[in-house]
A and B are shown apart, each in its own frame.
Chain A
């Protein structure tokens, strides 16, 4: 019903009909880049507002409610303020690395977001090793964090960056293993194909217990990987002022801030794609009428609904649980998440071998 493949192809055909192949390809790329940059900025603005508002409600406060209707223009005002601010560079900072770090983080966040399928045919970059690519590129962000911490010539920044390094090296394993569990069930790494396998039921429902366990393990580990929620040691405000981005100001700080929130979206989007059926509507068994109503809602709506549900869950985690200590953080990964993940993997392998999966 809602298939964007022909629509996207018609744009491509139009461009190829009007221009020479090289120019057409370049135009297509420009179009995709513009769309994704706009999406990146809008996601950042919206998520910052939602985060501040939801966090306020969790703490029985009001949150920003002055600028615009119910404070919706607050983040726009903040962004304008950050744009106008002076980008201060520390005296003895490593200039090249200091300026490079925000771009590496932004690059990693943007690359990962380009793989997310928003609807059928609405995906910029559909490769057959999608999940592997995501796991590989998302850990590139830590290079930016380490560079930022190292080059700012600040003890707090360096401590934050080192913590982030330890954290990502550990939690990358859990993210990879929990996604691997799902790859056993789906049998493919391509994101669009993973969604196709969920046409008759989302994996979290038809994947039995292992899928549910894998979902929560993935959520925990990936929240830790994007330095968020109870695992925000690299930027622990009460301990390290602001962690790795202590010395950044103005636009460069905005890059870090945006990347953090877009990473949150990416994690939710991958969780949605792999566990919650991506843009597939919610179906119950053979209730034809109910399913028809659900089909009527466009897939892009379903996608963003699920993503926002997962994001809300992540905010709930963040504003409920206290921050972990560094030793507790490593203990959680190596003593609990990792063995559970391995057990889950073996369990799923047995299930798949016996052919019990949907």
Chain B
């Protein structure tokens, strides 16, 4: 019987210890709440925000300083994309001179359909990279041509 009473009080004390442990953790959180807040107030700090290394966002075609890209239109990204958000539109020009020009190559990228898996990036690493920042109000800014 004394054994049972001992067990009863031991259980209560252990429970209290567990509760205090939990409260210590949350207490630490609120004590350091100013410094450790994870939430980003995004559109306000767009200029200063530094994204994490492993962040995957919208895909952009990299351009060099002369504003030329190195896309050959091989369609590897289109094949790799799981939900068809990338489409390579290849239109041969009507005149022979225009047919040679690269600018007729048009990769179409629909951001609203993209799931940010970055499969296309791993396929054509030097050509594309993930970029932070997608915020838009219009349909026209969602589909990138």
Residues of A bordering B, CB below 8 Å:
54, 57-62, 316-317, 319-321, 336, 340
Q: Does B26 lie within 8 Å of A320, measured CB to CB?
A: yes
Q: Does A60 lie within 8 Å of B36, measured CB to CB?
A: yes
Given known pairs A57-B33, A60-B33, A336-B12, the reply for A321 and B38 (CB within 8 Å) is no
Q: Does A61 lie within 8 Å of B37, measured CB to CB?
A: yes
* Chain A residue at minimum C-beta to C-beta distance from B32: A60
State in angstroms the CA–CA spacing of A233 and B25 once bound together: 24
State in angstroms the CA–CA spacing of A59 and B12 once bound together: 28
State in angstroms the CA–CA spacing of A58 and B33 once bound together: 7
- Judged by a CB distance under 8 angstroms, whether B29 is at the interface is yes
Residues in chain A near residue B33, CB distance under 8 A:
57-58, 60
Q: Does A60 lie within 8 Å of B27, measured CB to CB?
A: no
Residues in chain B near residue A54, CB distance under 8 A:
30
Interface residue tally of chain B, by bracket?
A: 10 to 19
Residues in chain B near residue A340, CB distance under 8 A:
12
State in angstroms the CA–CA spacing of A319 and B41 once bound together: 23
- Judged by a CB distance under 8 angstroms, whether B19 is at the interface is yes
- Judged by a CB distance under 8 angstroms, whether B95 is at the interface is no
State in angstroms the CA–CA spacing of A57 and B30 once bound together: 5
Across the A-B interface, give the 9 residue pairs with the lowest CB-CB distance, nearest first. Answer: A57-B33, A320-B26, A62-B39, A320-B22, A57-B30, A61-B39, A60-B38, A320-B23, A58-B26
State in angstroms the CA–CA spacing of A91 and B19 once bound together: 45
Q: A57-B29, A317-B23 are in contact. List 13 more A-B contacts (CB 8 A).
A: A58-B26, A60-B33, A60-B36, A60-B39, A61-B37, A61-B38, A62-B39, A316-B23, A319-B26, A321-B19, A321-B22, A336-B12, A340-B12
Given known pairs A321-B19, A336-B12, A340-B12, the reply for A316 and B26 (CB within 8 Å) is yes
Residues of B bordering A, CB below 8 Å:
12, 19, 22-23, 25-27, 29-30, 33, 36-39, 41
Q: Does B30 lie within 8 Å of A58, measured CB to CB?
A: yes
Given known pairs A320-B22, A321-B22, A340-B12, the reply for A62 and B41 (CB within 8 Å) is yes
State in angstroms the CA–CA spacing of A122 and B27 once bound together: 35
* Chain B residue at minimum C-beta to C-beta distance from A313: B23
Residues in chain B near residue A321, CB distance under 8 A:
19, 22
Residues in chain B near residue A60, CB distance under 8 A:
29, 33, 36-39
Return A221 CB to nearest CB of chain B, in Å.
15
Residues in chain A near residue B26, CB distance under 8 A:
58, 316, 319-320
State in angstroms the CA–CA spacing of A340 and B25 once bound together: 27
State in angstroms the CA–CA spacing of A61 and B36 once bound together: 9
State in angstroms the CA–CA spacing of A60 and B37 once bound together: 5
State in angstroms the CA–CA spacing of A250 and B25 once bound together: 37
State in angstroms the CA–CA spacing of A66 and B22 once bound together: 31
Residues in chain B near residue A59, CB distance under 8 A:
29
State in angstroms the CA–CA spacing of A316 and B33 once bound together: 14
Return A58 CB to nearest CB of chain B, in Å.
5
* Chain A residue at minimum C-beta to C-beta distance from B25: A320
* Chain A residue at minimum C-beta to C-beta distance from B34: A57
A and B contact pairs by CB, cutoff 8 A, 8 listed: A57-B33, A58-B30, A58-B33, A60-B39, A61-B39, A320-B19, A320-B22, A336-B12
State in angstroms the CA–CA spacing of A54 and B19 once bound together: 19
* Chain A residue at minimum C-beta to C-beta distance from B12: A336
State in angstroms the CA–CA spacing of A336 and B33 once bound together: 34
* Chain B residue at minimum C-beta to C-beta distance from A216: B16
* Chain B residue at minimum C-beta to C-beta distance from A317: B23
* Chain A residue at minimum C-beta to C-beta distance from B26: A320
* Chain A residue at minimum C-beta to C-beta distance from B36: A60
* Chain A residue at minimum C-beta to C-beta distance from B15: A336
State in angstroms the CA–CA spacing of A321 and B26 once bound together: 10
State in angstroms the CA–CA spacing of A153 and B113 once bound together: 41
Name which of B12, B25, B26 has the most chain A CB atoms within 10 A of its CB: B26
Q: Does B36 lie within 8 Å of A316, measured CB to CB?
A: no
Return A340 CB to nearest CB of chain B, in Å.
7
* Chain B residue at minimum C-beta to C-beta distance from A316: B23
State in angstroms the CA–CA spacing of A58 and B39 once bound together: 13
State in angstroms the CA–CA spacing of A280 and B29 once bound together: 32
State in angstroms the CA–CA spacing of A316 and B26 once bound together: 8
Return A73 CB to nearest CB of chain B, in Å.
18
Return B34 CB to nearest CB of chain A, in Å.
8
Name which of A54, A59, A317 has the most chain B CB atoms within 10 A of its CB: A59
* Chain A residue at minimum C-beta to C-beta distance from B19: A321
State in angstroms the CA–CA spacing of A336 and B19 once bound together: 15
State in angstroms the CA–CA spacing of A290 and B23 once bound together: 32
